[in-house]
């Protein structure tokens, strides 16, 4: 879906599909360098990270293993509920593995702070975070993020996996959602 198809739902476009693909390829190169010679497992956080994970994985020039988790701290609204739940756990034993959590956005930091601690408790060799977007002004918890695509303002954004009530995920770009849509 293109932004032109949305008839006023977006205030602006922050990143185009081309911007996103270029940045994911740059991040993949850095990750490859940092984990050279290591057995890397990338763990996508469902559902939002599907686009990021798929495109980033295709940018790698090495073998890697992927798994998925579904966790939630959101209801159907635009704010975190403050309670993290595992909806789908890993299928892979991560003991002794280098784990890179891949997410589309870090908002408050609650979910990824909890998830990092949870995976570290499973005896992983290391647990790091990679995110396409981060909202520094929205952070309420300290979260160490090794790879960040872009820092963005504390606005409600959609597209490229980011949603509002399960809509807009298939938008190729990332844009700021107009307040009239979610007010």
Active site residue 107: yes
Please report whether residue 25 resides in a domain: yes
Total number of domains in the chain: 1
pLDDT tens digits, the chain, 183 residues: what are they? 888 788 899 999 999 999 999 999 999 999 999 999 999 999 999 999 999 999 999 999 999 999 999 998 755 555 555 678 899 999 999 999 999 999 999 999 998 999 999 999 999 999 999 999 999 999 999 899 999 999 999 999 999 999 999 999 999 999 999 999 988
Q: Domain containing 115: what range?
A: 17-153
Among 55, 103, 107, 173, the active-site one is 107
pLDDT of residue 80: 55
Q: Give 68's contacts (C-beta < 8 A, 6+ positions apart).
A: 43, 44, 45, 46, 88, 90
How far is it, in rounded angstroms, from Cα 176 to Cα 158?
6
How far is it, in rounded angstroms, from Cα 59 to Cα 28?
6
Please report whether residue 7 resides in a domain: no
Q: Kindly report the pTM of this predicted structure.
A: 0.91
CATH classification at residue 32: 3.40.50.2020
């Amino acid at each position: 879906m293109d932004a032109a198809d949305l008839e006023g739902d977006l205030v602006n476009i922050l990143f185009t599909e081309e911007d996103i693909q270029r940045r994911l390829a740059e991040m993949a190169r850095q990750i490859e360098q940092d984990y050279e010679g290591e057995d890397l497992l990338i763990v996508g956080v469902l559902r939002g990270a599907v686009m990021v994970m798929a495109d980033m994985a295709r940018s790698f020039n090495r073998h890697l293993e992927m798994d998925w988790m579904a966790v939630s701290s959101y209801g159907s609204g635009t704010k975190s509920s403050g309670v993290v739940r595992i909806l789908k756990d890993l299928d892979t034993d991560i003991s002794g593995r280098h784990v890179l959590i891949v997410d589309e956005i870090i908002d408050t930091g609650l979910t990824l702070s909890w998830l990092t601690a949870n995976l570290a408790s499973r005896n992983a060799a290391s647990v790091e975070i990679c995110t396409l977007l981060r909202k520094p002004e929205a952070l309420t918890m300290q979260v160490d993020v090794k790879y960040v695509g872009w820092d963005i303002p504390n606005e409600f954004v959609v597209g490229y996996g980011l949603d509002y009530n399960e809509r807009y995920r298939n938008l190729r770009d990332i844009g700021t959602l107009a307040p009239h849509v979610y007010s």
